[in-house]
């Protein structure tokens, strides 16, 4: 959009922009933007930085870190670098970055520490405080860069997906341009940090909390730079209502070209509810075959490609006034190919026959993941109601972090919720497409041991409340639980398989997996069925009620547990009463008053410490990252403190060292 148009729009809507329009870009400067991504987040952020860099007068070149290694070392880059790096597994660098990282390790061992002396970088690290080694991937790179003489001219910033990446990402980007200017010894020339004034006098019709103007904020806000539209949608006069297996495989192959296995077609053999009808969560056991053989080991997971809910897509298209066009084939063009955002979708639409309905169903995330702060800034441009515009600007602002976090991320608010709430907001579909993030595959740990594959999952449910304007299910589990025998669905082999079992079977292995976290251990135990008795295996499992959600109950009690060195089960919502309960196994395997797995671990503290300290045993934890994995880690700290007389700091270091040497492994998800 032309600057004059912005001024006109903003004055018209009582929103005044101050202090940034007068800034003119005088000199363009070359910069390199390098991303190291695992799930695509770092790439998307790097693409945003790329686009904003152009608006700010820089000449960016975007690189995937996988292009660098021994043959093409990083010191070939002489322009200042903006490095965006995520974390994966147990605090490792993304898989695409391992070649580059390993080459730096080798160079460090061989060189005098000046190898990167001309390498100047700004660092944005991505991580999640729900995991033990927060931001460790980028921290490893930062350390190597420093050891090799590189200079960090801006940052490092550590963004936390646990509380919302935007909280750090946004200020990082806002400050980046001045930092780059300073780097080019031409400080304070430009800035994307827009200051805007909003009118907070009038309160909006109070549909839900999302729409209520936050009265505690000042009227001057710092908002992300508005990302202009560079996409144009053209509809072709041809309709397509049905997408067959081959159509969908082609679409997914273009969406996920990095997949090592390619897109595999699964056929459902059986999909059963295995929890009791009265259980708190519905748990399903999905058995399926594949069109191609999958090479896998116990502990591996598959990445399922699940569509958005059909009804949600229909409602959204209706809300966007696109019902009459939804089945028409479209093609996207970009009038600025140097802008990276949305280019994947341009290619996708040019290489496939795509309709809006298929695109919204299969390709983009319609839930909170797409609703970054710059998304609210984008929506504000298309709201004709002044109060709605102001509120959307507040939600996009740095000052309103708390409400953004609580009302959007914590509530898992969707795009449709936002559009249902901000009724005057009518974004054009091509600009909307540009702003939406790709739908991420969902991983599931295999518990099978042969060509009939199997995983278990809990159905995720979100009730209509607060900012959620309708009931909904989790994207993937909402789709998977409806699959019937002979239905097809799509998956890929998970690229990064971190959770593999130790090869030295003589050492003890302690497995901890409450809820569906039991899955990889079932796969492992099934694969060792013949030799179980000879192995040194310990299993801690937890569920709510022995009669409602004890997964794989018969198999565990009859075939597995009797052959393990120890099996222990905890019940979080069941009080065992010997006089009324006649289940002998409870007496045998349930530690009295053990609510959670960590209560049983604590009960066996001496034994556990003996296994890990004297016998160099392994500890494997699988399941919830938000609470369980942290509590289990802390429980081991307690056990080590108690049994070895270590300070809690030393016990922490002891376990961190076990993580580093891969003797304490976690496959966890928040
Ligand atoms: P979404 O629409 O993505 O919503 C998920 C959100 O709902 C989460 O952010 C969370 O805050 C909230 N939520 C509430 N309850 C739950 C819950 N019980 N599980 C997840 N999120 C919840 N899941 C399994 O059920 N079985 C597995 O074997 C399994 N293996 C995994 C292996 C790996 C390596 C990883 C990374 C994850 C695994 N997960 C597994 C999690 C799985 O990938 C999905 O995240 C989960 O099924 C929710 O997906 P969804 O699309 O239905 O929910
Ligand atoms: P769940 O059914 O919600 O819980 C299982 C048991 O754990 C319940 O008894 C629950 O008790 C208990 N629990 C709750 N808080 C705990 C804590 N702090 N410490 C120990 N136990 C606790 O679990 P789920 O939904 O199956 O799985 C949890 C998560 O793991 C999900 O997000 C799932 O997607 C993920 N997952 C990841 C992998 C992987 O990364 N490989 C594999 C499988 C599952 P109460 O509810 O009664 O408090």
Q: How far is the CA of 546 from the centre of ligand 1 (A)?
A: 23
Q: How far is the CA of 445 from the centre of ligand 1 (A)?
A: 11
* pLDDT over threshold 80, residue 4: no
Determine whether the shortest distance from the Cβ of 283 to ligand 1 is under 6 A: no
Q: Note the ligand closest to the C-alpha atom of 280.
A: 2
What pLDDT does residue 331 have?
A: 98
For residue 318, give every residue at least 6 positions away whose Cβ sits within 8 Å of its Cβ, in sequence order, or none. none
CA dihedral 490→493→495→501, nearest 10 degrees, is 140
Give the residue, 181 or 634, on which the prediction is more confident.
634
Determine whether the shortest distance from the Cβ of 411 to ligand 2 is under 6 A: no
* pLDDT over threshold 60, residue 202: no
Q: How confident is the model at residue 201 (pLDDT cuts 50, 70, 90)?
A: low
Q: How far is the CA of 623 from the centre of ligand 1 (A)?
A: 10
Please give the Cα distance from 182 to 401 (Å, whole number): 28
Q: What is the mean predicted confidence (pLDDT) over 265-288?
A: 97
Instruction: Please answer whether residues 641 and 648 qualify as being in contact, where contact means their C-beta atoms are separated by less than 8 angstroms.
Output: yes
Q: What is the pLDDT of residues 495-549, one digit of tens each?
A: 778 899 999 999 999 999 999 999 999 999 999 999 999 999 999 999 999 999 9
Query: Among residues 611, 467, 601, which one has the least CA distance to residue 539?
Result: 601
> What would the DSSP string read from start to end of 505-555?
TTS-EEEE--GGGGHHHHHHHHHTGGGGGGS-EEEEEEES-TTTS-TTHHI
Q: What is the pLDDT of residues 218-255, one digit of tens each?
A: 888 989 888 899 999 999 999 999 999 999 999 999 99
What pLDDT does residue 71 have?
A: 86
* pLDDT over threshold 70, residue 189: no
What pLDDT does residue 670 have?
A: 77
Q: Which residue has the tokens 């940090």?
A: 193
Q: How confident is the model at residue 12 (pLDDT cuts 50, 70, 90)?
A: very low
Please give the Cα distance from 168 to 423 (Å, whole number): 30
Q: What is the pTM of this model?
A: 0.83
What pLDDT does residue 261 have?
A: 80
Determine whether the shortest distance from the Cβ of 458 to ligand 1 is under 6 A: yes
Determine whether the shortest distance from the Cβ of 573 to ligand 2 is under 6 A: yes
Please give the Cα distance from 592 to 574 (Å, whole number): 11
Preceding omega of 156 cis (within 30 degrees of 0): yes
| Residue 434 tokens, joined | 């540009």
Of the residues 443, 542, 625, 670, which should be mutated to test ligand 1's pocket, given the most ligand atoms within 8 Å of the CB? Answer: 443
Q: How confident is the model at residue 206 (pLDDT cuts 50, 70, 90)?
A: low
- Looking at the CA of residue 457, tell me the nearest atom of ligand 1: 25
For residue 13, give every residue at least 6 positions away whose Cβ sits within 8 Å of its Cβ, in sequence order, or none. 386, 389
* pLDDT over threshold 60, residue 265: yes
Alpha helices (runs of H) in 286-424, residue ranges in sequence order? 310-319, 343-351, 356-362, 373-381, 386-396, 401-403, 415-421
Determine whether the shortest distance from the Cβ of 181 to ligand 2 is under 6 A: no
Least confident of 76-80, 279-283, 461-465, 480-484: 76-80
Please give the Cα distance from 493 to 475 (Å, whole number): 19
Q: How far is the CA of 335 from the centre of ligand 2 (A)?
A: 47
| Residue 162 tokens, joined | 């646990």
In SS3 terms, 204-266 reads as CCCCCHHHCCCCCCCCEEEECCCCCCCEEEEEEEEECCCCCHHHHHHHHHHHCCCCCCCCEEE
Summarize the chain as % helix, strand, coil (round to 5): 40, 20, 40
For residue 627, give every residue at least 6 positions away whose Cβ sits within 8 Å of its Cβ, in sequence order, or none. none
Q: Within its chain, how far is the Cα of 419 from the centroid? A: 24
Please give the Cα distance from 434 to 340 (Å, whole number): 10
Per mean pLDDT, which of 17-31, 182-196, 329-343, 602-616 is the most reliable? 602-616
Average pLDDT, the chain: 90
Q: Note the ligand closest to the C-alpha atom of 633.
A: 2
Name the burial class of residue 558, with classes exposed (0-12), middle (13-18) and buried (19+) by CB atoms within 10 angstroms of its CB. Answer: exposed
Name the burial class of residue 202, with classes exposed (0-12), middle (13-18) and buried (19+) by CB atoms within 10 angstroms of its CB. Answer: exposed
Q: How far is the CA of 279 from the centre of ligand 2 (A)?
A: 14
* pLDDT over threshold 80, residue 581: no
Q: What is the pLDDT of residues 368-416, one digit of tens each?
A: 989 999 999 999 999 999 999 999 999 999 889 889 999 999 999 999 9
Give the residue, 648 or 578, on which the prediction is more confident.
648
What pLDDT does residue 225 have?
A: 84
Q: How far is the CA of 669 from the centre of ligand 1 (A)?
A: 7
* pLDDT over threshold 80, residue 334: yes
Please give the Cα distance from 298 to 292 (Å, whole number): 18
Q: What percent of the chain has pLDDT over 90?
A: 71
* pLDDT over threshold 80, residue 194: no
Least confident of 98-107, 154-163, 252-261, 580-589: 580-589
Tally of CB atoms within 10 A around 283: 23
Give the residue, 429 or 409, on which the prediction is more confident.
429
* pLDDT over threshold 60, residue 28: no
Q: Whose CA is nearest to atom 19 of ligand 2?
A: 628
Determine whether the shortest distance from the Cβ of 669 to ligand 1 is under 6 A: yes
Determine whether the shortest distance from the Cβ of 623 to ligand 2 is under 6 A: yes
What pLDDT does residue 582 have?
A: 66
Give the residue, 350 or 131, on which the prediction is more confident.
350
- Looking at the CA of residue 477, tell me the nearest atom of ligand 1: 52
- Per DSSP bridges, beta strands 81-85 and 29-36 are parallel
Please give the Cα distance from 286 to 556 (Å, whole number): 18
Please give the Cα distance from 388 to 156 (Å, whole number): 36
Q: Note the ligand closest to the C-alpha atom of 39.
A: 1
Q: Note the ligand closest to the C-alpha atom of 515.
A: 2
Please give the Cα distance from 464 to 207 (Å, whole number): 13
* pLDDT over threshold 70, residue 347: yes
């Amino acid at each position: 959009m032309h600057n004059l148009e912005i001024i006109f729009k903003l004055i018209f809507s009582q929103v005044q922009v101050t202090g940034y329009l007068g800034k003119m870009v005088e000199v363009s400067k070359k910069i390199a933007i390098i991303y190291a991504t695992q799930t695509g987040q770092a790439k998307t952020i790097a693409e945003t930085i790329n686009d904003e860099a152009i608006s700010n007068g820089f000449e960016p070149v975007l690189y995937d870190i996988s292009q660098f290694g021994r043959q093409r070392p990083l010191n070939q880059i002489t322009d200042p670098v903006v490095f965006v790096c995520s974390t994966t597994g147990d605090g490792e660098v993304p898989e695409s970055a391992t070649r580059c990282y390993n080459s730096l390790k080798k160079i460090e061992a061989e060189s005098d520490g000046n190898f990167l002396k001309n390498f100047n970088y700004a660092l944005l690290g991505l991580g999640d405080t729900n995991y033990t080694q927060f931001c460790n991937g980028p921290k490893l790179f930062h350390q190597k860069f420093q050891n090799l003489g590189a200079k960090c001219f801006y940052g490092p910033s550590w963004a936390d997906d646990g509380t919302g990446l935007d909280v750090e990402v946004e200020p990082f980007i806002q400050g980046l341009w001045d930092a780059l200017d300073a780097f080019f010894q031409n400080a304070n020339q430009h800035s994307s940090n827009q200051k805007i004034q909003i009118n907070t006098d009038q309160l909006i019709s109070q549909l839900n909390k999302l729409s209520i103007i936050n009265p505690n904020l000042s009227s001057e806000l710092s908002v992300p730079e508005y990302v202009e539209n560079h996409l144009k949608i053209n509809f072709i006069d041809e309709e397509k209502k049905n997408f067959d297996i081959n159509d969908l495989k082609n679409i997914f192959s273009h969406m996920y070209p990095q997949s090592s296995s390619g897109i595999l077609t699964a056929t459902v053999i059986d999909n059963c509810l295995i929890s009791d009808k009265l259980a708190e969560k519905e748990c399903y056991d999905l058995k399926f075959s594949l069109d191609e053989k999958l090479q896998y080991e116990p502990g591996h997971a598959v990445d399922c490609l699940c569509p958005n809910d059909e009804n949600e897509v229909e409602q959204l298209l209706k809300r966007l006034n696109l019902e009459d066009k939804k089945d028409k084939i479209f093609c996207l063009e970009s009038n600025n190919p140097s802008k990276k955002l949305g280019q994947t979708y341009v290619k996708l639409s040019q290489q496939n026959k795509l309709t809006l309905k298929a695109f919204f169903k299969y390709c983009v995330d319609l839930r909170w993941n797409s609703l970054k702060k710059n998304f609210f800034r984008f929506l504000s441009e298309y709201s004709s109601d002044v109060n709605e515009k102001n509120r959307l600007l507040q939600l996009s602002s740095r000052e309103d972090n708390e409400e953004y976090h609580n009302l959007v991320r914590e509530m898992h608010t969707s795009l449709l919720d936002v559009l249902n709430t901000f009724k005057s907001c009518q974004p054009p579909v091509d600009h909307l497409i540009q702003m939406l993030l790709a739908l991420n595959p969902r991983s599931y740990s295999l518990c099978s041991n042969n060509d009939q594959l199997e995983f278990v999952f809990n159905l995720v449910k979100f009730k209509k409340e607060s900012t959620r304007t309708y009931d909904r299910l989790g994207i993937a589990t909402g789709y998977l639980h409806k699959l019937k025998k002979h239905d097809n669905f799509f998956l890929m082999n998970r690229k990064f398989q971190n959770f593999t079992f130790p090869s030295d079977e003589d050492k003890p292995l302690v497995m901890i997996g409450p809820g569906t976290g039991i899955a990889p251990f079932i796969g492992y135990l099934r694969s060792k069925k013949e030799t179980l008795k000879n192995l040194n295996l310990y299993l801690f499992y937890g569920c709510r009620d022995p009669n409602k959600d004890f997964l794989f109950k018969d198999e565990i009690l009859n075939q597995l547990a009797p052959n393990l060195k120890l099996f222990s089960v905890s019940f979080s919502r069941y009080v065992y009463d010997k006089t009324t309960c006649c289940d002998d196994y409870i007496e045998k395997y349930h530690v009295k008053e053990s609510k959670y797995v960590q209560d049983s671990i604590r009960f066996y503290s001496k034994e556990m410490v003996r296994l890990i300290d004297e016998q160099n045993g392994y500890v494997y934890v699988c399941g919830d990252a938000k609470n369980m994995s942290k509590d289990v880690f802390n429980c081991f700290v307690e056990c080590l403190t108690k049994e070895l007389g270590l300070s809690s700091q030393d016990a922490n270091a002891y376990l961190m060292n076990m993580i580093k040497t891969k003797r304490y492994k976690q496959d966890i998800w928040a």
